[in-house]
A and B are shown apart, each in its own frame.
Chain A
Amino acid sequence: MSDVTYGPSMERTRPDPAPDGEPEGADQGSTGGEGSFAARFRNLGLWLAPVLIAGLAVGLYAYVQSLDLANANRQQRSALSWDDKLQPQLVEHLQIAAWSTLIVILVAVPLGVALTRPRLRRASPYIIAVANSGQALPAYGLLVIFLSIMGQGKWTVIWALALFALLPVLRNTMVGLDGVDRSVIEAARGMGMTKAGTLMKIEMPLAVPVIVAGVRTAMILNIGMATLAFLIGGGGLGITINSGLKLNQEPVLIVGAWLVAIVALSFDWVGAVAEKYLHPRGL
């Protein structure tokens, strides 16, 4: 009869209305993401990177072979010795990057969580300011400050880099958590999920993509900055690059820089893979 109906008595006596007939097509629309061109292209990028990295490694190997090290000068021979120099430096470099990134995660993520809780939110501008200054300071200056506090060595570098790379992870953790739809949290709490449960089961998983992006940035920063470790006796591939410069041995410089590039690209790829697989389904 009418479009405007008011009374419960009338409505309740109506025969069961069919479930609302939203067109089925509308439901399928958004599921196509996986197979879409853009997604396929992204996946392609993910698998193309290792090929590129392998290509770089092969290229580097070929370049080193072409140097004919056995007959090269003593400086080159010594600086490019895999067992004595390159391999230990590479390991050191990775250690520095790995430890500093780990420390960043262990400090920045809980800190970010804490600063988005109502009780500590007021402190967040100050902490952000400290983290900001960590990144605003020139890395060299930061290293020197830490040198004066902690003395020479690998761990001085690790802590200095951790402070340097704190900001992206801290900021992304906070942005990620703040970006979680308030109504989702309201619903979780309203159903009786505890604060901790809501954080772990709802807020964190939904913030993960943003947090992982921050970690990826921090990791790349750390790998790059670890080349400065040699300045305060922290080792790393920076030594080889520095030798190349100081001794005016171009091949040494090239090999060192090339290795750092391969390491950085590899880890960026690991970060990209992590971003893809840690991305919650359904988002």
Chain B
Amino acid sequence: MSSEAKIHLDRVGKTYPGTSVPAVEELTLDVHEGEILVLVGPSGCGKSTTLRLINRMIEPSSGRILLDGEDVTRANPDKLRRRIGYVIQQIGLFPHHTIAENIATVPKMLGWKKADIAARVEELLTTVGLDPEQYRDRYPKELSGGQAQRVGVARALGADPDIMLMDEPFGAIDPITRDRLQNEFLRLQSQLHKTIVFVTHDIDEAIKMGDRIAILGERSVIRQVDTPERILAYPVDDFVDDFIGTGSTIKGLNFLKVSSLAPTDYPTMTVQDTPEEGVRRLRDNGADWLVLLDGQRRPIRWLHHQHLTEGTAPLEERGEEIGDQLNADDTLFHALEQMVQSASGCSVVVDGSGAFQSCVEMPALSSAIRRAQREAQLHYEELEAMQA
């Protein structure tokens, strides 16, 4: 395992001189190439310390750190850090350097040629969504918080490091900008495939950003490390359960797709059908609502039994609005949201052309969740069996 891992922490610990309780107890952790591993835990659990042990901003007092299988525990820390991007919450842009100079910091230290540096700065500014023409020669004080953190990320990417360490990078930014920066960062990561260790105290951010999440307890002891979906489906102990908080099951719906559900047979009728035909289909199906489709089989209205038997208005003017519709690759979280808004308590799934496919009903969601929980549990039981 350790030879494959991009970052391998081997029983790394930190005990500050003069204290008997370690800040970080022997920690063994693998970070795989191209993944975002989120370290998350309550305040003071040592997650930032753990992150800073990796680039040796804090020197570990025991254990080994391996990057690409190479032991860097005794390497020159300055040279080591030039290989690792580092983003902190306070950003720490150099106020007396222009944006371009800030981004050029590491390439300059590595002795890149001037023209290469200039080209790299242009590229990175564009990458993080800032117009080079406009921002290159500005100073950090002229930037808003969101823009400054973009530059912070660009600076960390300066010399194209394989590894990035990010310490609550979006922690000090307003929620709307944070959401936007998170999305952009995920998009960026889908192109760059960096190996990222990301620290946050916000479980929702962890779930959103992480390919895997390590939930840390006191003294940075790993309580559970796994994919977000498995952690949500199967928290291994009360600590993790408490930490991920209420609503974890619902959050887990984010990781399940509509396409994973078995198609159901839901009653429909088209505008050409007679109301009596509709009533018959409802009776055959034992349902209360059916979906009215137009000529191209696109859903237009929800019709209840009553709507069919009473009134004389054309069918397309009866019943309730359909509302938003789902696609196969929407999440079940999305489906749940549609469901609670829809008149019939079901959400409608359409195909690419907008034609009706099926409906998602509550029992389907609960069985999907229970299946995910069962799978996660099975996974952990297998792991235990393997260890035993």
Contact = CB atoms under 8 A, between A and B. Distances in A.
Interface string B16-46: 0000000000000000000000000000000
B209 interface: yes
A11 B96 contact: no
- Which range holds the interface residue count of chain A? 35 or more
Interface stretch (A94-102, A112-120, A186-194): A186-194
Residue among A1, A19, A27 having the largest count of chain B Cβ atoms under 10 Å: A19
A22 to B, nearest CB: 4
Contact of A12 (B93, B96, B142, B186): B186
A195 to B, nearest CB: 8
Given A6-B251, A189-B81, A191-B155, A19 B129 contact: yes
A188 B158 CA distance: 13
B345 to A, nearest CB: 18
A187 B255 contact: no
Given A11-B183, A19-B130, A26 B144 contact: yes
A11 B92 contact: no
B280 interface: no
Contacts of A206: 95-96
B141 A282 contact: yes
Interface string A193-218: 11001000010011000000000000
B210 A8 contact: yes
B140 A282 contact: yes
A27 B88 contact: no
A234 to B, nearest CB: 41
A283 interface: yes
B15 interface: no
A181 interface: yes
B186 A194 contact: no
B204 interface: yes
Interface stretch (B111-119, B265-273, B331-339, B363-371): B331-339
Contacts of B253: 7
A200 to B, nearest CB: 13
A7 B255 contact: yes
B52 to A, nearest CB: 8
Contact of A183 (B88, B98, B165): B88
B109 A192 contact: yes
A74 interface: no
Contacts of B156: 191
Contact of A190 (B55, B228, B255): B55
A30 interface: yes
A276 B147 CA distance: 29
A184 to B, nearest CB: 5
A13 B228 CA distance: 17
Contacts of B177: 20, 22
B382 interface: no
Interface in A132-163: none
B105 interface: yes
B208 A6 contact: yes
A281 interface: yes
Contacts, number: 156
A163 to B, nearest CB: 32
Given A6-B208, A8-B208, A187 B86 contact: yes
Given A7-B254, A10-B333, A188-B92, A27 B143 contact: yes
Contacts of B86: 187, 190-191
Interface in A9-36: 9-14, 16-17, 19-20, 22, 26-28, 30-31
A27 B129 CA distance: 15
A184 B183 contact: no
A191 to B, nearest CB: 5
Contacts of A22: 144, 146-147, 177
A44 B204 CA distance: 55
B90 interface: yes
Contacts of B190: 12
Nearest to B227: A8
Contacts of B95: 181, 184, 206, 280, 282-283
B378 interface: no
A183 B334 contact: no
B74 interface: no
A20 B93 contact: no
A22 B144 CA distance: 7
29 contacts: A1-B324, A1-B334, A5-B254, A6-B204, A6-B208, A6-B333, A7-B253, A7-B331, A8-B211, A9-B254, A12-B190, A20-B146, A20-B147, A20-B180, A22-B177, A27-B138, A27-B142, A30-B141, A183-B92, A184-B95, A186-B92, A188-B105, A191-B109, A192-B80, A192-B109, A193-B78, A206-B96, A282-B139, A283-B95
State the 10 A-B residue pairs at the shortest beta-carbon distance, nearest first. Answer: A7-B254, A187-B92, A282-B139, A183-B90, A19-B129, A192-B81, A192-B82, A280-B96, A190-B86, A183-B92
